[in-house]
Every structure is written in structure tokens, then in C-alpha cells.
Amino acid sequence: MTDDEQDKVDRELFKNVEKLRQLRIEHRDLDETIARLSMDIHVNEVEIKRLKRRKLLLKDQIERVSSHLIPDLNA
């Protein structure tokens, strides 16, 4: 592998690690928001359902990005 190719791989890996970090932060923040809103008796249930749906989508994205970070053992 040439230095240029290795640099490209390194940049892509860094990009994926950073994206994973951002997704995890957003997922955690949504979890805290949902917990806080759930304690409010005047909360809009539709809003909580929307936030939970977004949280599940984030979880799926986290799984996809994580799976790309695992090295291919067949390579």
C-alpha cells in the first residue's frame, strides 16, 4: 500500500471514528432529554415518540458505523 493510499485509509478511519463519537453524543443527549420530558405531566406524548424514534435511528447508525470500523478478517 502506498503512502497516499494509507493516508486515505487513515483519513477515512478518523472520519468514521469522529462520526461515531458525534452519533453517540447525540444519542446520549436524546436519552437525557427523553428522561427529563417523561417526568413532565404536561409533556406532549407525540414529541416524546418522535424523540424515541430519532434515538432508535441513531442507534442503527451507530451500529452501521461501528461495523465499518471492525477490520475485515478475510482481507
In a domain, 12, yes or no: no
Given this model, what pLDDT does residue 54 score? 97
In a domain, 14, yes or no: no
pLDDT digits 0-9 by tens, 35-49: 999 999 888 999 999
State which residues form the domain around 60: 23-69
- Total structural domains within the chain: 1
In a domain, 17, yes or no: no
Whether the CB-CB separation of 58 and 27 falls below 8 Å is answered with yes
Mean pLDDT of the chain: 89
In a domain, 42, yes or no: yes
Average pLDDT over residues 1-28: 88
Given this model, what pLDDT does residue 13 score? 85
Model pTM? 0.80
Q: What is the separation, in whole angstroms, between the first and last Cα of the chain?
A: 13
Show the CA angle centred on residue 50, arms to residues 44 and 52, nearest 5°. Answer: 105
Helices (H), the chain: 3-38, 45-69
pLDDT digits 0-9 by tens, 26-36: 999 999 999 99
